[in-house]
């Protein structure tokens, strides 16, 4: 049991590693700046992170509301396409990677060794086209190109301000969940700092197809907001297949909702608090033909949830983002057992639950320099079965860094970035079951046109 | 000789007090119960405003060549949307309302997503671009009496005033903005400018309500060809013109919103 | 803040001292005033003025049996150049002048400005008169003074003033786009505008050495230096050409 579990742990880590190296960069959209003549800093605290003016612009359907939003009013220099690319030098290190005792000899046994890699790198290219198709119809298309392969990361259209009301906006397609602390607009880029781990976490031994609230999903979203964007709501109905397009739904639908309210604190600034919940059902097995699963025929659906609260706090030149998540997967999902084989559940199997969260602090020295510090943790409160050590899968991660924007004008932006981060996965070392620690150092340019 | 020294000394002291007193006052803005601060306003200006309005507030930011109409040149202290007579400075609340509302059909967005305090700070900083704010005081705000009810007679009278006051020479006989003088119009910087099309149902630049239209007729839109009708029309005539202009548009935009500085 | 304090104090003291010195200069024994007079001529063939089409406003068109013409360069019978502003630009020793009580008058007549170029003193009252049956708007676009824009139907009184020196403020009527005039504002009273023969006279000039400038709206400025002694009447001529 132990070996099987550990192998699964290894696979989880590999998956995590792949995800980390291919994580989609986030969005600052100079095309909008070009359209309106505004600087990046008007909409972004420090791009890609949005400030309230930018969030309001986004919630209004990428419209400023001055009668010049429809595409026919484009300025001569407006070209509705944005490119984003990072070039960097970075160093990754992991303290317990399984390596062959004799390099090249697969049968000679393995040990855990520290493995360090470093060098220049160019991350994936992000292309975004977004804006208004006409007054009150907005769109967003984001192809994602990485290592020669490409996919559609997001593609949606939205009917804005239905019936003239800001409370009714309908979005359809593949889209990022309505999250004010957004994975798509994260400020850090490195292997350890480039993700909010809570947004992607799946406990050890779990085969839930749901990859997390940080992954764009397929479905419809109804959202709305008050005039000054202080009160916002959204409710989405989504496919239960974690946003994989081309594969029809697994016969069930998930629901995601986000409610938040902002308020002013005199002398400090604007604060916002919110609650969210993702309630879904994932299949535990499929109909098969000749032993091969028929896609879209998920069966044995079992429920899972990700709920929590978050806050965005402005205190003078500082701003903080706080996040809490409580996650729970059904016992069958947690143990990777089909629901029609309850006898296969290991004795003492339970539904895995965990709590996690992060605090991210920024010091906004001026619109061109932001200092970043982040600490994130995940704690399992209930493992899927007694065979898994009680704190296996726990995670502690921190990142520090800064972004400096020597070029920031309505045409394009350039940031110089330096980051250092460290993540500790409890009990995740592939051979010994000890703690697995990775750290990364990154410095480079983040270029946005 | 001693009297001269005493006179000089006391005169200098008086002047000094005037300068000091005048200085501090002009370094702040007062809107309702908000007091805006110049230093905070400068940081906000550099984040939000500088690319259109320019580092020196002269309307020559990087984006200005691509914008029509051009961004406001604050160094001239000439503003379209005021509640004070033509030729005089606006009140702080006039400037606050303008940035909160934005200017429809231009590159100026509504800055309502900014905190009220932040907007007040911006106004305090914007006033530092022109010495006029330290040398002069704004005019007395115009009186806007209660609006009489709309009637067919009022609209007809308004049409006659529209004719006799030569409004049609710019706005056209049908109010569409293609009057005989329209093509020659330039703003005070020399850029071509078009008269408002009253049939468009679009939002006016300085507010959407009937009271705003009345006030625009009294104050004029300084810096543009739109003059003040302060002495040229009586109060009743002004309301008649407002009613007539409303009748030109099929859109029902009779919103009775309070000015944003009062929200 | 402290340096600003001392700077302001210094400025105040200097300003006060200068004005006291100026006042002292003013109150010295009366001199017999001098004058400078002359003619401004236009060299070469006079440019033909263009016709103004006033048909868009019938109330304007009917005031002209023959069409009105543009007034930017007006050359009289003898080659005299009208509407040139002559003024003292340098050399005055006193700087404190009260504006005259008599208002200057700018008339809108025949849908044109009369006079085409008006000169007055800073803070002197300006009466704007609309003698036409049609409504005008009077819209000066200054660089150094407050900009205002007032509608004026026939007979409505309008009084304004300009606080700072400026040569010269363009004035227009937006309703009638062909209407163009200029207002030159001076701190001192030593200015004149040439008549239709190009003649001018600067009267009651205190004796001294002065720089006299002639300004024409299209042809630019010219300067000449002149020295007048008590009671002397000097002659000074200018010549402009295109």
Residue-wise pLDDT tens digits, A389-400: 888 889 999 999
Q: Pairing between strand A44-46 and B28-31?
A: unpaired
Please tell me which chains touch A, using 3 or more CB pairs under 8 Å as the contact test.
B
Which pLDDT score, from 0 to 100, does residue C52 have?
A: 93
Cα gap A119→A140, rounded to integer Å: 34
Q: Is the ipTM of this complex over 0.85?
A: no
- Indicate the helix (H) or strand (E) that contains A45: strand A44-46
Domain count, chain A: 1
The beta-carbon neighbor of A42 closest among B48, B66, B102 is B48
pLDDT at residue C13, as a whole number: 66
Q: Which numeric CATH code is attached to C32-241?
A: 2.60.40.420
Summarize the confidence of residues A119-144 as an average pLDDT. 88
Q: In angstroms, rounded to a whole number, what is the distance separating the alpha carbons of residues A395 and B21? A: 61
* Banded pLDDT at B164 (limits 50, 70, 90): very high
Of the candidates C175, C193, C53, C177, which has an alpha carbon nearest to the alpha carbon of residue C114? C193
CB-based contact B165 C150, cutoff 8 Å: no
Give the strand pairing for A137-146 and A149-159: antiparallel
Higher pLDDT, B237 or B3: B237
CA distance C72 to C83: 9
CB contact under 8 A, A66 and B48: no
| CA R_g for chain C | 21
The whole-number pLDDT of residue A410 equals: 79
The reply to whether B60 touches chain A by the CB within 8 Å rule is no
Q: Give which of A32, A43, A228 to mutate to test B binding, by max B Cβ within 10 Å.
A: A228
Helix (H, G, I), strand (E, B) or coil at C171: strand
Residue with tokens 């003074």: C145
pLDDT above 90: residue A388: no
The answer to whether the beta carbons of residues A414 and A76 sit under 8 Å apart is no
A and C touching (3 or more beta-carbon pairs closer than 8 Å): no
Average pLDDT, chain C: 88
Asked if residue A265 has a cis previous peptide bond (ω within 30° of 0), the answer is no
| Predicted local confidence at residue A20, as pLDDT | 40
Residue C11, pLDDT score: 58
A121-125, A167-171, A219-223, A238-242: least confident range: A121-125
Q: Is a pLDDT exceeding 70 seen at residue A420?
A: yes
Range name among A95-104, A276-285, A310-319, C30-39 with the lowest pLDDT average: C30-39
CA angle, C40 then C41 then C42, to 5°: 135
pLDDT band for B263, please (50, 70, 90 cuts): very low
Q: For B126-147, how does the pLDDT look when each residue is reduced to its tens digit (9 = 90+)?
A: 999 999 999 999 999 999 999 9
**Confidence at B125, pLDDT banded by 50, 70, 90:** very high
Name residues whose C-beta falls within 8 Å of residue A62's C-beta, 6 or more positions apart in sequence. Answer: A32, A69, A130, A131, A132, A138
Give the per-residue pLDDT at A325: 97
- A341 has a pLDDT exceeding 60: yes
Distance, CA of B235 to CA of B241 (rounded, Å)? 10
Q: Which residues in chain A have their CB less than 8 angstroms from residue B50's CB?
A: 39
pLDDT of the residue at A127: 87
Mean pLDDT of C134-163: 95
Can you list the domains of chain B with their CATH numbers? Answer: 24-135 (1.10.760.10), 152-256 (1.10.760.10)
Chain C residues contacting B via beta carbons under 8 Å: 4-5, 8-9, 12-13, 15-17, 20, 56-57, 134-139, 141, 146-153, 156-158, 160, 174-177
Name the more confident of A175 and B24: A175
DSSP A327-391: EEE-HHHHHT--TT-GGGSPTT----EEEEEEEEEEEEEETTEEEEEEEEEEEEEE-SSTTS-TT
Q: What phi and psi, each to the nearest 5 degrees, are found at residue A349?
A: -70, 140
Name which of C9, C146, C148 is nearest B16 (Cβ-Cβ).
C9
**Chain-chain contact of B50 with A39 (C-beta, under 8 angstroms):** yes
Instruction: Answer for the pair C228, C207: CB distance below 8 angstroms, yes or no.
Output: yes
- Out of C56, C139, C149, the one facing B181 most closely (by C-beta) is C56
Least confident of A62-76, A212-226, B25-39: A62-76
SS3 label, residue A152: strand
Residues 6+ apart with CB under 8 A from A107: none
Per-residue confidence (pLDDT) for residue A244, from 0 to 100:
77
- Per-residue model confidence (pLDDT) at position B12: 54
Any idea which of A5-14, A319-328, C5-14, C30-39 has the lowest mean pLDDT?
A5-14
How near does any CA of chain A get to the CA of B3, in Å? 51
Cβ atoms A367, B46 nearer than 8 A: yes
- Of the listed ranges A66-70, A328-332, B211-215, C212-216, the least confidently predicted one is A66-70
Q: Are A158 and A169 in contact (CB under 8 A)?
A: yes
C165 neighbors C49 (Cβ within 8 angstroms): no
pLDDT value, residue A53: 94
CATH number for position A78? 2.40.160.10
C-alpha span between C220 and B192 (Å, rounded):
25
Nearest CA in chain A to B100: A228
Rounded (10°) angle between helices B116-126 and B92-101: 120
Contacts of A42 in chain B (CB under 8 A): 47-48, 51
Q: What pLDDT does B254 receive?
A: 43
CB contact under 8 A, A65 and B109: yes
Distant-in-sequence, close-in-space partners of C188: CB < 8 Å, separation ≥ 6: C88, C92, C95, C97, C121
Question: What is the rounded average pLDDT for all residues in chain A?
Answer: 88
Q: Tokens 């209660």 belong to which residue?
A: B146
Contact by Cβ (8 Å): C27, C225: no
What pLDDT was estimated at residue A24?
Answer: 46
Element (H, E) at C5: helix C2-26
Structural domain range at position A135? 2-448
**pLDDT of the residue at A22:** 40
């Amino acid at each position: 049991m132990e070996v099987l579990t550990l192998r699964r742990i290894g696979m989880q880590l590999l998956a995590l590693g792949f995800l980390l190296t291919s994580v989609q960069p986030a969005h600052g959209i100079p095309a909008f700046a070009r359209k309106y003549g505004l600087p990046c800093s008007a909409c972004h605290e420090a791009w890609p992170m949005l400030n309230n003016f930018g969030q309001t612009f986004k919630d209004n359907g990428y419209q400023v509301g001055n009668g010049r939003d429809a595409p026919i009013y484009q300025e001569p220099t407006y070209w509705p396409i944005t490119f984003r690319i990072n070039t960097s030098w970075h160093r990754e290190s992991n303290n317990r990677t399984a390596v062959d005792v004799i390099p090249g000899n697969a049968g000679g046994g393995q040990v855990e060794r520290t493995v360090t890699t470093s060098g220049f790198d160019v991350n994936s290219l992000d292309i975004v086209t977004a804006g208004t198709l006409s007054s009150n119809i907005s769109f967003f298309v984001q192809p994602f190109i990485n290592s020669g392969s490409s996919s559609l990361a997001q593609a949606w259209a939205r009917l804005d301000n239905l019936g003239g009301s800001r409370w009714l906006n309908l979005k359809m397609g593949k889209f990022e969940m309505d999250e004010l602390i957004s994975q798509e607009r994260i400020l850090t880029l490195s292997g350890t700092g480039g993700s909010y781990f809570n947004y992607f976490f799946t406990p050890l031994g779990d085969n839930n197809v749901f990859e997390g609230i940080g992954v764009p999903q397929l479905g419809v979203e109804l959202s709305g907001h008050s005039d000054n964007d202080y009160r916002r709501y959204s409710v989405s109905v989504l496919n239960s297949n974690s946003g994989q397009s081309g594969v029809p739904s697994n016969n069930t639908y998930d629901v995601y909702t986000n409610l938040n309210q902002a308020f002013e604190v005199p002398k400090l600034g604007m604060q916002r608090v919110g609650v969210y919940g993702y309630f879904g059902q994932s299949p535990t097995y499929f109909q098969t033909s000749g032993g091969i699963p028929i896609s879209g025929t998920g069966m044995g659906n079992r429920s899972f949830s990700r709920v929590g609260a978050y806050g965005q706090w402005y205190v003078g030149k500082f701003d903080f983002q706080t996040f809490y998540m409580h996650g729970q997967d059904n016992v069958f999902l947690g143990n990777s057992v089909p629901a029609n084989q309850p006898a296969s559940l290991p004795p003492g199997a339970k539904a895995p639950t965990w709590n996690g969260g992060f605090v991210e602090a920024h010091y906004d020295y001026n619109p061109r320099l932001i200092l970043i510090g982040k600490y994130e943790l995940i704690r399992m409160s209930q493992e899927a079965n007694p065979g898994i050590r009680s704190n296996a899968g726990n995670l502690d991660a921190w990142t520090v860094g800064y972004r400096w924007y020597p070029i920031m004008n309505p045409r394009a932006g350039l940031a110089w970035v330096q980051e250092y981060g460290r993540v500790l996965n409890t009990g995740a070392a592939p051979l010994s079951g000890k703690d697995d620690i990775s750290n990364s150092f990154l410095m480079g340019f983040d270029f946005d046109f | 000789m001693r009297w001269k020294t005493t006179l000089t000394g006391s005169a200098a002291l008086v002047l000094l007090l005037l300068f000091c007193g005048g200085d501090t006052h002009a370094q702040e803005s007062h809107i309702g119960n908000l007091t805006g601060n110049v230093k905070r306003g400068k940081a906000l200006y550099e984040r939000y405003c500088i690319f259109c309005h320019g580092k020196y507030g002269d309307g020559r930011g990087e984006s200005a060549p691509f914008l029509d109409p051009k961004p406001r040149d604050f160094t001239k202290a000439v503003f379209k949307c005021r509640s004070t007579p033509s030729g005089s400075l606006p009140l702080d609340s006039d400037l606050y309302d303008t940035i909160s509302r934005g200017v429809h059909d231009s590159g100026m967005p509504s800055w309502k997503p900014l905190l009220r305090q932040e907007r007040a700070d911006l106004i305090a900083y914007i006033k530092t671009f022109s010495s006029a704010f330290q040398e002069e005081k704004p005019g007395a705000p115009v009186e806007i009496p209660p609006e009489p009810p709309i009637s067919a007679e009022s609209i007809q009278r308004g049409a006659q005033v529209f004719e006799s006051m030569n409004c049609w020479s710019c706005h056209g006989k049908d109010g569409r903005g293609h009057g005989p003088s329209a093509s020659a119009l330039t703003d005070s910087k020399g850029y071509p400018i078009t008269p408002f099309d009253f049939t468009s149902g679009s939002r006016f630049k300085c507010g959407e309500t009937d009271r705003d239209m009345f006030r625009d007729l009294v104050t004029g839109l300084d810096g543009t060809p739109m003059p003040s009708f302060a002495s040229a029309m009586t109060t009743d005539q002004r309301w008649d013109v407002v009613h007539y202009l409303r009748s030109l548009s099929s859109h029902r935009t009779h919103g009775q919103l309070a000015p944003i500085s009062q929200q | 803040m402290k340096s600003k304090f001392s700077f302001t104090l210094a400025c105040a003291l200097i300003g006060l001292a200068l004005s006291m010195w100026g006042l002292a200069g003013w109150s010295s024994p009366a001199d017999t005033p001098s004058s400078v007079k002359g003619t401004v001529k236009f060299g070469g063939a006079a440019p033909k003025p263009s016709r103004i089409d006033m048909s868009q406003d019938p109330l304007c068109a009917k005031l002209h049996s023959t069409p009105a013409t543009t007034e930017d360069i007006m050359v009289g019978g003898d080659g005299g150049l009208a509407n040139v502003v002559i003024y003292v630009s340098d050399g005055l020793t006193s700087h404190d002048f009260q504006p005259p009580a008599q208002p200057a008058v700018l008339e809108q007549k025949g849908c044109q400005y009369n006079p085409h170029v008006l000169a007055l003193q800073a803070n002197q009252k300006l009466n704007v008169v609309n003698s036409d049956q049609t409504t005008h708007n009077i819209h000066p676009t200054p660089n150094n003074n407050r900009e205002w824009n007032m509608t004026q139907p026939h007979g409505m009184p309008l009084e304004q003033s300009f606080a700072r020196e400026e040569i010269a403020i363009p004035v227009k009527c937006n309703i009638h786009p062909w209407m163009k005039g200029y207002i030159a504002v001076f701190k001192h009273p030593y200015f004149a505008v040439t008549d239709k023969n190009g003649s001018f006279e600067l009267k009651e000039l205190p004796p001294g050495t002065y720089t006299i400038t002639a300004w024409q709206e299209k042809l630019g400025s010219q300067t000449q230096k002149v020295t007048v002694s008590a009671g002397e009447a000097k002659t000074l001529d200018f010549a402009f050409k295109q």
